[in-house]
């Protein structure tokens, strides 16, 4: 294990989240057995006060866990300085069997934890706590996933040694693989771009349809397209756009763009992408709640805002991703 500020931050983060979620699980079980919104009894009022505090703590804990994705990637990038063969986070993540699974679970966590925060925010906008039971059942279901997230994170950090030899991003994502694992060698850039821009246009069209007149099928399609576009965008950034940012045809990597050498442009790509995709997917998460008592105004308002924000953020993402590519096409090089 590398004992440095990054590992310590990740482990402490995990411990704090575990503690808070343990506390929340206790409240969740009490909600399952004793929650009765029609009761004026002391226990119900105490429970309402308790879940107010618990929900706030859970929201913070899940927020921290979402942010830990960034810390995790930056930590992996930092570890690459000490691991033989690694040039960036790609090499570090492949340095043991837990790196990539931990990253995938953390990316999934951004959405799953975020959905809980959405439910909570909708719930506290009603006078009657209509989603308490739902959000605590969801929280209890989320606990094994969270445990997996924390365990993989700790196992990854604990399993890192300076004597490990790993591969760099040029091997992992390059078109001419050497002896190392090659993840995307068969992926055609032309296909990537066609699907990428086609999906972006489809997303925009369905978003506009939704904003003009809300339809359930359209919200389902919109959210599904957001998920599809998110996965596609990660692929397109890695196989196509990153090369234009690095100005090197054989350098394809989703992590190096986060470095100072490339003006941290990766953050400008990933933040709108993650946030936009998350908001787009939240639309369908909120859809079944539209008719619930006390949420008739809150949910439609949230959904419309989510669609608008999602489209705006993904537009920013497409713009930032396309700029180096377009610049290259127009100027025929770096200019």
Partner 1 sequence: MLIELDRVSKTYNQGLPNEVAAVREVTLAIADNAMTCLRGASGCGKSTLLAIIGCVFQPTSGRVTVAGKQLARLPDRFLALHRRQYIGFIFQRFNVLPALTVQENIVLPLIPLGLTPQQMRERAGILMERFGIVHRRAFPAGQISGGELQRVAIARALVNDPPLILADEPTAHLDSRLSNEFMDCLAELKAAGKTIILTSHDPLVTGHRAVDQVIDMQDGRIHVS
> Applying CB under 8 A, which part among 36-44, 154-162, 264-272, 314-322 lies near partner 1?
36-44
Any contact of residue 42 with partner 1 (CB under 8 A)?
Answer: yes
Task: Please state the separation of Cα 330 from the chain's center in Å.
Answer: 33
> Applying CB under 8 A, which part among 5-13, 42-50, 200-208, 313-321 lies near partner 1?
42-50
Tell me how many residues contact partner 1 (CB under 8 A): 11
Any contact of residue 261 with partner 1 (CB under 8 A)?
Answer: no
Site for partner 1 in 127-146 (CB under 8 A): 127, 129
- Burial readout 21-48 (b: 16 or more C-beta within 10 A, e: otherwise): bebbbebbebbeeebeeeeeeeeeeebe
φ, ψ at 84 (rounded to 5°): -65, 125
Any contact of residue 41 with partner 1 (CB under 8 A)?
Answer: yes
Select the residue interacting with partner 1 from 48, 50, 175, 287 (CB under 8 A).
Answer: 48
Any contact of residue 147 with partner 1 (CB under 8 A)?
Answer: no
Least CB distance to partner 1 at residue 42 (A): 4
Select the residue interacting with partner 1 from 8, 12, 29, 49 (CB under 8 A).
Answer: 49
- Burial readout 133-161 (b: 16 or more C-beta within 10 A, e: otherwise): eebbebbeebeeebeebbebbbbbbeebe
Least CB distance to partner 1 at residue 34 (A): 14
> Applying CB under 8 A, which part among 35-43, 181-189, 234-242, 251-259 lies near partner 1?
35-43
Question: 155 CB contacts (<8 Å, ≥6 apart)?
Answer: 98, 102
Any contact of residue 1 with partner 1 (CB under 8 A)?
Answer: no
- Rounded distance between C-alpha atoms, residue 242 and residue 235, angstroms: 10
- Rounded distance between C-alpha atoms, residue 152 and residue 145, angstroms: 10
Least CB distance to partner 1 at residue 61 (A): 20
Least CB distance to partner 1 at residue 126 (A): 8
Any contact of residue 197 with partner 1 (CB under 8 A)?
Answer: no
Least CB distance to partner 1 at residue 140 (A): 22
φ, ψ at 165 (rounded to 5°): -105, 130
Ramachandran sector of residue 275 (left: φ over 0; alpha: ψ -120 to 50; beta: rest):
alpha
- Rounded distance between C-alpha atoms, residue 246 and residue 50, angstroms: 52
Q: What percent of the chain is helix, strand and coil (3-state, nearest 5)?
A: 75, 0, 25
Any contact of residue 124 with partner 1 (CB under 8 A)?
Answer: yes
Any contact of residue 32 with partner 1 (CB under 8 A)?
Answer: no
Any contact of residue 53 with partner 1 (CB under 8 A)?
Answer: no
Any contact of residue 52 with partner 1 (CB under 8 A)?
Answer: yes
Q: Give the binding site for partner 1 (CB under 8 A).
A: 40-42, 44-45, 48-49, 52, 124, 127, 129
């Amino acid at each position: 294990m590398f004992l440095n500020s990054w590992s310590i931050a990740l482990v402490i983060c995990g411990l704090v989240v575990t503690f808070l979620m343990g506390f929340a699980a206790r409240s969740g079980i009490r909600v399952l057995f004793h929650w009765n919104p029609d009761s004026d009894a002391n226990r119900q009022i105490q429970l309402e006060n308790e879940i107010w505090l618990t929900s706030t703590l859970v929201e913070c804990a899940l927020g921290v866990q979402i942010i830990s994705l960034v810390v995790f990637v930056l930590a992996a990038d930092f570890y690459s300085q000490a691991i033989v063969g690694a040039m960036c986070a790609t090499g570090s993540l492949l340095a043991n069997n837990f790196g990539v699974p931990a990253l995938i679970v953390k990316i999934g966590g951004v959405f799953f934890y975020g959905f809980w925060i959405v439910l909570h925010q909708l719930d506290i906008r009603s006078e009657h706590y209509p989603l308490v039971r739902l959000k605590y059942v969801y929280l209890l279901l989320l606990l094994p996933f969270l445990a997996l997230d924390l365990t993989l994170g700790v196992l990854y950090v604990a399993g890192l040694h300076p004597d490990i030899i790993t591969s760099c991003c040029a091997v992992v994502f390059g078109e001419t693989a050497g002896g190392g694992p090659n993840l995307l060698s068969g992926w055609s850039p032309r296909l990537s771009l066609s699907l990428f821009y086609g999906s972006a246009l489809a997303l925009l069209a369905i978003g506009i349809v939704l904003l003009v007149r809300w339809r359930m099928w359209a919200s389902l399609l919109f959210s599904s397209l957001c998920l599809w576009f998110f996965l596609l965008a990660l692929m397109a950034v890695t196989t196509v756009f990153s090369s234009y940012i690095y100005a090197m045809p054989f350098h394809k990597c989703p992590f190096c763009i986060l470095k100072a050498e490339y003006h941290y442009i990766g953050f400008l790509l990933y933040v709108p992408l993650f946030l936009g995709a998350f908001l787009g997917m939240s639309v369908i998460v909120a859809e079944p709640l539209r008719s619930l008592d006390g949420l008739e105004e809150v949910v439609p308002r949230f959904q419309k805002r989510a669609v608008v924000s999602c489209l705006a953020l993904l537009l920013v993402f497409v713009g930032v991703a396309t700029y180096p590519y377009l610049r290259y096409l127009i100027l025929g090089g770096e200019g």
